[in-house]
Amino acid sequence: MDLPRYAYFHGQIIPYSEARVGVLTHALNYGTAVFGGLRAYWNAEEEQLYLFRPLDHFKRFIGSAKLLLMEIDQTPEELTQIAVALLRQEAYRCNVYVRPLAYKSDEVIGVRLHNLAHELSIVSIPFELYVTNDTSAHVMFSSWRRVDDNMIPARGKISGAYANSSFIKTEAIQAGFDEALVLTQEGHVSEGSAMNIFMVRDGVVATPPITENILEGITRKSVMKLLTDEIGIPVVERPIDRTEVYLCDEFFMTGTAAQVTAVTRVDHRPIGTRVMGPVAAQLRQIFSDICHGRHPKYHHWNTPVY
């Protein structure tokens, strides 16, 4: 992976090579940081780069920081402006991933959240597919369980909680799968290692409610609206059992990195017709058009960079 050329660090845009922290940094030792992940999409015809729903992403980011007792000085609008300035400085003409991070920056020993300074950084890198097999992914149910709200809240996008996601992802990859689904302590389907999940069963789309230890995904929220308003299929939020997934007609995962990834096999069982289904196919097309700024009705989700 190529490194960024610039970083927003200590209140300024500086060369990435100068954005450095010491090894005693609290967040590096104890996982006391929160992060975000946004995409910007290059529209070649318009020569425009569109950031996707930055205000929603930064609102969630500020909320995540609040859970770790970090008050972010900037508003979502101001953070969006910083991200836009950074992307302009990089002068990207390609699809990009943007990574804001708020971290406990004191270089001290001692496990806690209080009485610690924090810093904010934002970097960006060119980015294409995250799940390479995104039209026919084969996923497994992880042997790991999702962190619970009373352990490390999944809705917080807390760096330390991504050790849990890392166990889940690596088990799947080492076993030859593309991704894994993870169950809650109660045994309901929660989400993937870094994506929300949707199942189509008998003409209804179901997705786990936000009380199932999921990250409250911006793509999830977008897709729920598109399924209802554009595709015309009802969407319900309800607990999902593992074996419902085996029997469903279509299954897909959503996330900033994963976008809309169609899953066609789960634990070696074919899903539906064994190929990507019509709901996922339509959704992928609409979502891609919207992200690239090609759908006037959803222009309010696109923030132009240039």
Question: Where do contacts with ligand PMP occur on this chain (CB under 6 A)?
Answer: 37, 165, 191, 194-196, 215, 217-220, 254-256
To ligand PMP, the closest distance from the beta carbon of 18 in angstroms equals: 27
The two tokens of residue 10 are 């200590």
Residue closer to ligand PMP by CB (options 80, 254) is 254
Residue closer to ligand PMP by CB (options 87, 253) is 253
| CB 87 within 8 Å of CB 7 | no
Q: Please tell me the distance from the alpha carbon of residue 197 to that of residue 258, in angstroms, as a whole number.
A: 11
Residue type, 19: A
Nearest to 52 by CA among 35, 43, 39: 39
To ligand PMP, the closest distance from the beta carbon of 212 in angstroms equals: 11
To ligand PMP, the closest distance from the beta carbon of 89 in angstroms equals: 24
Residue closer to ligand PMP by CB (options 5, 141) is 141
Neighbours of 254 (CB within 10 A): 25
Residue closer to ligand PMP by CB (options 108, 257) is 257
The two tokens of residue 239 are 């607990």
Q: Please tell me the distance from the alpha carbon of residue 258 to that of residue 191, in angstroms, as a whole number.
A: 12
Which letter does DSSP use for residue 81 in this model?
H
Burial of 183 (0-12, 13-18, 19+ CB in 10 A): buried
Neighbours of 289 (CB within 10 A): 12
Residue type, 245: V
Which letter does DSSP use for residue 158 in this model?
B
To ligand PMP, the closest distance from the beta carbon of 153 in angstroms equals: 11
To ligand PMP, the closest distance from the beta carbon of 165 in angstroms equals: 6
Residue closer to ligand PMP by CB (options 54, 277) is 54
Residue closer to ligand PMP by CB (options 116, 260) is 260
To ligand PMP, the closest distance from the beta carbon of 37 in angstroms equals: 5
The two tokens of residue 9 are 């660090």
Residue closer to ligand PMP by CB (options 31, 255) is 255
To ligand PMP, the closest distance from the beta carbon of 210 in angstroms equals: 11
Helix (H, G, I), strand (E, B) or coil at 135: coil
Residue with structure tokens 């009802």?
Answer: 234
Q: Please tell me the distance from the alpha carbon of residue 306 to that of residue 303, in angstroms, as a whole number.
A: 9
